[in-house]
Structure 1
Amino acid sequence: MISAWSRRSLLAGTAVLTTGGAAAAKEDRLSEGVAILIDSNESYVMGHAISYSANLAKHFAERGAKLLIEVIANGKGIDVFRADKSPLIEPLATMRQSLPNLNYSMCASSKTIAEAKEQITIPLIPGANLVPFGIGRVVDLQLKGWAYIHA
C-alpha cells in the first residue's frame, strides 16, 4: 500500500497525483492546489515552471475544476520574480491577469542572502509576495493536501 506521504510527493516534472486513499483517486479530488517550486535561475527551468502553471490551469478548467496554483521561488530561482533580472516579466504579468488563482511567492531568506551578496535591494515583480522560507511554504502547502512539482 502506498503511504499518504508518497501519494502527495511528486518527482520532478512528473504528473500531478491526487491525495487521499484509493477510493479518493478521482480526477476531481485535487481540490486544494498545486505548489510548483523553482530553485534554479536557468531560463528554461523558469519557463517550464511557468508553462506548467498554464497547462495545469487549462487541464483542470476543461474539467470544470478550479485549481489553486502557487509558484514558489527559492535559492537561485528567486531570479524569476526579480524585477531587475527576470527574463519572464511580461509572460508572468499576462499569466497573473488571465489566471486569478495563480500566486507567486519568493523566499524572503533567499532574497536577504542575495541582497547581502549583491549589496542591493532586490525589487519584486508586481504580484509577487514574500514568504519566510520557500521550502517551508512548499511543506506547509503539502501538509494541507496540495500536490508538489519541482520544476
Structure 2
Amino acid sequence: MSEPVQDLSRRGFLAGATALGAPAPAVPAVVQRRAGIVILIDSNEPHVMGHAISYSGNLTRHFAGLGQTPPIEVVANGQGIEVFRADKSPLKEPLAALRQMYPNVGFSMCASSKSIAESKENLMIQLIDGASLVPFGVGRVVELQRKGWAYIHG
C-alpha cells in the first residue's frame, strides 16, 4: 500500500495546516519604519565627499516634505576621514552650514582610521566642529543598520 503524495508547496502546506486546525503562519501587518539613514564616506575624492554631503541635505529636505525628520549620520572611514579633518577638509564651510541648517545630521569619524593617519603623518588630527569619533567607522555603520537604519554608500 503506497502513502498519499503530499503537496509540499506553500499553498499545499497552508491548506494542510488549516485543515488540521493549525494556524496559518503570521504575516507582519505593518512594515517597521527605518529609524534613520547612515551615509558612509570611505574615499578622499572631493566629488565623492561632496555627493555624500549633498545626499544628507537632499534627504533632509525630502523627508521634511513628508513631515518627517529622520536622523542622518555621515560616517567617515579610511581615506574618507579627510572630509572631517580640520586641516584638510575641502568642505569645511558647506559642512558648517549643513550643521546649522539641519541639526538632525551628525558627523562621525573612525577613530581607528584617524589613529593610523596620525601615525603615518606624525601629527595630531583635529576634527571639524560638530564631528565626533566612533571606535570603528564600519562598525558604526553595521550597528546602525542592525537598528534598522537605511544605508547609503557615498
TM-score (norm 2): 0.80
Q: Which SS does the other structure have where 2:148 is aligned?
A: coil
- Which of residues 126, 136, 141 is equivalent to 1:138? 141
Q: CA deviation at 1:104?
A: 0.1
Other structure's SS at 2:73 match: strand
Q: CA offsets, 1:74-127, max 9 Å, x none? A: 000000000000000000000001101110000000000000000000010000
Give the structure 2 partner of residue 18 of structure 1. Answer: none
Matched residue SS, 2:57: helix
Percent identical: 67
1:10 maps to none
Q: CA deviation at 1:23?
A: 4.8
Q: In the TM superposition, what are the counterparts of 1:42-61 in structure 2 within 5 Å?
A: 42-61=45-64
1:22 CA drift (Å) = 8.4
Correspondence for 2:11: none
How many residue pairs get matched? 127
For normalisation by structure 1, the TM-score amounts to 0.81
Residue 92 (1) aligns with residue 105 (2): no
SS at match of 1:24: coil
Match of 2:31 in 1: 24
- Give 1:78's aligned amino acid: I
User: What is the letter of the counterpart of residue 147 of structure 1?
Assistant: A
Specify every segment of 5 or more residues in structure 1 that has no aligned partner in the other structure, as ranges.
1-20
- The residue number in structure 1 matching 2:17 is none
Aligned-residue RMSD, C-alpha: 1.2
